Amino acid sequence: MLPETLKDWLEYIERQHPAAIAMGLDRVAAVRDALALKPVFPLITVGGTNGKGSTCRLLDAMLMQAGYRVGTYTSPHLLLYNERVRIGGQEAADADLVRAFAAVEAARVRLGLPLTYFEFGTLAALWLFVEAGVDAAVLEIGLGGRLDAVNAFDPDVSVLVSIGMDHMEYLGDTRDKIGWEKAHIFRTGRTAICADAQPPATVIEHAAVIGAPLLLIGRDFGYQAETQQWRYRGPRGVRHGLPPPALRGPAQLANACAAITALDLLRERLPVSAGAIRAGLVHVENPGRFQVLPGRPAVVLDVAHNPHAAEALALNLVQMTGYQRTLAVFSMLADKDVAGVARCLRGHVDHWYVAPLPGPRGSAAEPLLEALRQAGITAPVEVCPDIENACQRASRAAGGGDRILAFGSFLTVAAAMTALRHRGNE
């Protein structure tokens, strides 16, 4: 008997493949074809180590401000699975996700194929986008590119935001290897965009081998920051007087550049006015990415879970001036570079509150402490039973002029969001 609720479906699909991650396109492509999923709307695929979610949100916001109904698929989620699938700016309803999962399951059973959790979710999202007849879809690559389920769908424009060291057990242990994997979202004869200022040679080489025109930031498109605004230049010309993205951090200008370039390449099918781009920059939101909650003490939430993202977080903290102390609520998954992330924040945190994370990939307290020692952390460290308790301790210790930083994982930020949601303004 099939599940009836979204909660039951999520538990069900998690059990359908023996491995949480099983790279490859054969299974998802077979079910895609059985479902006759052939999008007729433009597809923009966004890959990279960091910045994917922000770029997807920027594209979604700009297209929506232009009046288009957009389907956006991102991962992972913070609080609810529904966050992963958005249509017309709204998270997918439980009932719609249930219908989509049932359709995917029927096709899977007919073929006798197992699907991973992410493969199920990707097919369900595209099923909903096709059913809804969206005007465009923005798809975030989950892991890598070449063998990621999203890569079973051919994009009209591919965006590679950044290449850093993460998921090395699947993608390789050098930027060249990781870049090669990620560059496989490019398609022959279709323009690709790379917003990494120092792309590995393998990215440029792969684009040349398959015949994908490649636009590089700094060469083919770019930006100039000004006092209260910024200027974009790209293959379709220059845009002056742009407002800073509502998303925090200097890396967002590169993300915004990539998004504008992608839209410029699609303007024959999806014209987007200068006004819509400006409005999208102003109204874009991306929870959990250097998100600052209102109130005192300030609370900063950031899902940074690799050194590349942690370096950006440290820079953002430096630019966010006026605070006396920074108290960190910190935890990460056990298979991540915990010491590398902590090392990037060394000298930026005055007191650490560390806690284990649940689940098979969650880190226990002792490995976290050992990683902090390896990173050369000398600031005080308190071990807490869970993230909620860590947030409570940090809140009690923080003064009005301090800030609390919760970071290291989507699970860490999600738990901190819940724990700090009802805090009062002081």
In a domain, 425, yes or no: no
Q: Has residue 21 got a pLDDT over 80?
A: no
pLDDT digits (tens, 9 = 90+) for 286-337: 999 999 998 899 999 999 999 999 999 999 999 999 999 999 999 999 999 9
- 80-89 average pLDDT score: 97
Residues, the chain, total? 426
Query: Across the beta sheet with 136-140, what order do the strands follow?
Result: 90-91, 85-87, 70-73, 136-140, 43-47, 157-160, 192-194, 214-216
User: Above 80 in pLDDT, residue 83?
Assistant: yes
Same domain? For 194 and 303 the reply is no
Give the mean pLDDT of 339-348. 96
The per-residue pLDDT for 426 is 40
* Domain boundary, last residue among 283, 310, 340: 283
Per the prediction, the chain carries an average pLDDT of 95
Mean pLDDT on 103-123: 96
pLDDT band (50, 70, 90) for residue 24: confident
| Residues 205 and 124 reside in one and the same domain | yes
At 15, phi and psi to the nearest 5?
A: -95, -5
pLDDT in tens, 121-138: 999 999 999 999 999 999
**Do 235 and 382 lie in a common domain?**
no
- What is the mean predicted confidence (pLDDT) over 147-159? 97
Is the pLDDT confidence value at 19 over 80?
no
Residue 191 belongs to domain with CATH number: 3.40.1190.10
Residue 413 lies in a domain: yes
Phi/psi of residue 76, nearest 5 degrees:
-80, -175
Residue 18 pLDDT > 80: no
Same domain, 268 and 307: no
239 and 303 within one domain: no
Angle at 58 between CA 57 and CA 61, to 5 degrees: 85
Domain count along the chain: 2
Per-residue pLDDT tens digits for 385-402: 999 999 999 999 999 999
- Cα 167 from Cα 144, distance rounded (Å): 8
Note the Cα 45 to chain centre separation in Å.
Answer: 12
Question: Strands, DSSP E only, in 56-135?
Answer: 70-73, 85-87, 90-91
The reply to whether 81 and 152 lie within a common domain is yes
Residues 149 and 244 in one domain: yes
* DSSP for 268-323, written as a single string: TTS---HHHHHHHHHH---TTSSEEESSSSEEEEE---SHHHHHHHHHHHHHS---
Residue 422: its pLDDT value, please?
63
73 in a structural domain: yes
Lowest-confidence region among 22-31, 144-153, 252-261, 276-285: 22-31
Residues 112 and 172 in one domain: yes
How far is it, in rounded angstroms, from Cα 381 to Cα 220?
A: 46
Asked if residue 426 is part of any domain, the answer here is: no
In a domain, 228, yes or no: yes
Q: Is residue 251 part of a domain?
A: yes
For residues 405 and 331, membership in a common domain is answered with yes
Domain shared by 54 and 194, yes or no: yes
Q: Quick one: what percent of the chain has pLDDT higher than 90? A: 90
- Domain range for 119 is 6-283
CATH code, domain carrying 373: 3.90.190.20
Where is the domain boundary, 283, 318, 333? 283
pLDDT band at 423 (very low <50, low <70, confident <90, very high): low
Mean pLDDT of 48-77: 97
Domain boundary among 256, 283, 310: 283
75: tokens are 């991962």
Whether 410 and 266 map to the same domain: the answer is no
Backbone angles phi, psi at 302, to 5 degrees: -150, 130
The contacts of residue 269 (CB under 8 Å, 6+ apart) are 42, 156
Assess if residue 1 is contained within a domain: no
Minimum mean pLDDT among 90-104, 285-299, 370-384: which range?
285-299
216 versus 24: the higher-pLDDT residue is 216
Domain co-membership, 276 together with 345 = no
